[in-house]
Amino acid sequence: MTDWTPHTARAKTWFESLRDRICAEFEAIEAEAGSAARFDYKSWSREEEGNPDPGGGTQGLMKGKVFEKVGVNVSTVHGTFAPQFAPSVNGASADQPGFTATGISLVAHMANPHVPAVHMNTRFLTTTKAWFGGGGDLNPPIPYEEDTADFHAAYQAACDAHDPEYYPKFKAWADEYFYIPHRGVHRGVGGIFYDHLECADDAGFEANFAFTRDVGEAFLASFPMLVRRRMGMPFTPADKAQQLEWRGRYAEFNLVYDRGTLFGLKTGGNIDAILMSLPPEATWS
């Protein structure tokens, strides 16, 4: 069996470097808007009985003039799944419940309703198998076709550089996943979503790691551009009301259907980091 420890360390280093670059870019946008807002970082440690090295992570949170609330989290955790949860995870079972997971997770809720909210995460997990997953999706309260097209184009370019079948497959997966059945609507205008991109050996790891890095680069190349495009637009009370109602739908999805939320809660993650995806304000009619 492959020892994935050095691979996990490499992925962790990349996720941390991506976090640093994203946070620097978001702080630069705040500065351009005349705001002194900066990220506040808090470290946390996971606890698991009988586990001397359960890991932990760092939660970065900023509340500013442009980013009403943005969280960028990186974590690396090790341990065992609860027996009743293990069979639902790729490569794990009640008999072999051990896992390692490292990844970055980001959610941004914007002050101006013309600026889209966004979600992005990428991760590397090992059980008896090893795989990458992640993606990114755009969540505008007031959609603009130009923004949707530019966001998707960035992800399509990242996908096409690795496999021409990736973009249509992962776009369809995002459309299916980010859907709110009880409302009959999608959470946003989509993006890409992939999971269980398995690494059978070192070569598989290198190929999937390169793709996952390009997914992160695509986010960094596209989303700040959209923020700068829309952040100075005037908005009305009706626009803000539309944003707050849409945020309620976003919260419903994350609390009822999101697998990442469930994974964090089932593995003893940091509650504040897990629920940082929830908007600072929302309304329900």
Q: Which residue matches tokens 């020892």?
A: 3
Q: For residue 46, give the CATH number of its domain.
A: 3.40.1500.10
* Share of residues in the chain with pLDDT > 70 (%): 100
96 Cβ neighbours under 8 A, 6+ residues apart? 86, 127, 128
What's the pLDDT score for residue 113? 98
Decide the pairing of beta strands 98-110 and 117-126. Answer: antiparallel
What's the pLDDT score for residue 1? 61
Given a cut of 70, is residue 2 above it in pLDDT?
Answer: yes
**φ and ψ at 192, to 5 degrees?**
-135, 155
Q: What share of the chain is helix, strand, coil (3-state, %, to 5)?
A: 45, 25, 30
Residue 173 lies in a domain: yes
* Share of residues in the chain with pLDDT > 90 (%): 82
What 3-state class would DSSP assign to 71? strand
Residue of 7, 109, 119, 186 marked catalytic: 119
Residue 182: both structure tokens together: 């009880």
Residue 218 lies in a domain: yes
Given a cut of 70, is residue 174 above it in pLDDT?
Answer: yes
The mean pLDDT of 59-87, rounded to a whole number, is: 93
Residue 283 lies in a domain: no
- pLDDT tens, residue by residue, 69-81: 999 999 999 988 8
What 3-state class would DSSP assign to 6? helix
The mean pLDDT of 220-244, rounded to a whole number, is: 98
What's the pLDDT score for residue 250? 94
Decide the pairing of beta strands 55-62 and 67-80. Answer: antiparallel
Residue 285 lies in a domain: no
What is the average pLDDT score of the chain?
A: 94
The answer to whether 261 and 252 have CB atoms below 8 angstroms apart is no
The mean pLDDT of 248-256, rounded to a whole number, is: 94
Residue 57: both structure tokens together: 């992570």
The answer to whether 54 and 77 have CB atoms below 8 angstroms apart is yes
Task: For residue 266, give the amino acid letter.
Answer: K
Task: Please give the Cα distance from 159 to 241 (Å, whole number).
Answer: 36
Residue 24: both structure tokens together: 């620097």
109 is catalytic: no
Q: Per-residue confidence at 259, pLDDT binned at 50, 70, 90? A: confident
Domain housing 51: 5-277
Residue 65 lies in a domain: yes
Residue 51 lies in a domain: yes
The reported pTM is 0.94
Residue 50 lies in a domain: yes
The mean pLDDT of 137-164, rounded to a whole number, is: 98
Residue 109: both structure tokens together: 């809720």
Residue 282 lies in a domain: no
Task: Please give the Cα distance from 92 to 285 (Å, whole number).
Answer: 42
Question: Closest Cα to residue 218, out of 196, 194, 201?
Answer: 194
91 Cβ neighbours under 8 A, 6+ residues apart? 126, 127, 128, 129, 130, 131
What's the pLDDT score for residue 22? 98
Q: Which residue matches tokens 């626009």?
A: 239
Structural domains counted in the chain: 1
196: how many CB neighbours lie within 10 A of its CB? 11
